[in-house]
Amino acid sequence: MSPVSPELGSGPEHLFLAKKVGVWDMECEYFISQTDEPVRAKGVDIVRALGPYWVLAEAKFELPGLTIEGQATTGYDPVAKRYRSTWIDSATPFLYTFEGSYQQERDLLELEGLNLDPQSGRPARYRSRELFGTPNDRLFELLVESSPGMETPILRYQYTRRE
């Protein structure tokens, strides 16, 4: 197999992903109902690099009466010029896929995808926003389109770097 050509190599888009590498403590909020207080949980996210092109994240968090484990992949596709990401977890049988862009001036990775909504059983538009604060903190939010043009928050993770 031939190596990747230099123009498709690890540029600034791939270097950006290195910001995520490390061990992160998570403060989680799940918005089960729009009228109730969010369900709070704690967790840990271990993110490692897979070569210069991908980061792999393994998260584990404790909800009341339930432990959830999940895995994410994130990389930059130099041909499509888009970030691509996947998510799987122990609570759902679905593969979630996302793609989008990084806004350097806002230090924001924003991705979206059409994925199955486990509550309705129908496809729904999801959008994630990952805001990088200092090198030791970041904020992740996931929203779903509840009706055309209207988004509802599903979850929010506040990350603090442990290592």
In SS3 terms, 39-94 reads as EEEEEEEEEEEECCCEEEEEEEEEECCEEEEEEEEEEEECCCCEEEEEEEECCEEE
Question: For the segment 90-120, what is each residue's pLDDT rounded down to a tens digit?
Answer: 999 999 999 999 999 999 999 999 999 887 8
CA separation for the pair 127, 100 (Å, rounded): 9
Question: For the segment 59-75, what is each residue's pLDDT rounded down to a tens digit?
Answer: 999 988 899 999 999 99
Written as six digits, the tokens of 90 are 């122990």
Question: For the segment 116-139, what is each residue's pLDDT rounded down to a tens digit?
Answer: 988 788 899 999 999 998 999 999
Give the SS3 label for residue 36: coil
pLDDT for the residue 33: 79
Question: For the segment 5-42, what is each residue's pLDDT rounded down to a tens digit?
Answer: 444 456 788 888 989 999 999 999 999 877 789 999 99
Written as six digits, the tokens of 39 are 């369900």
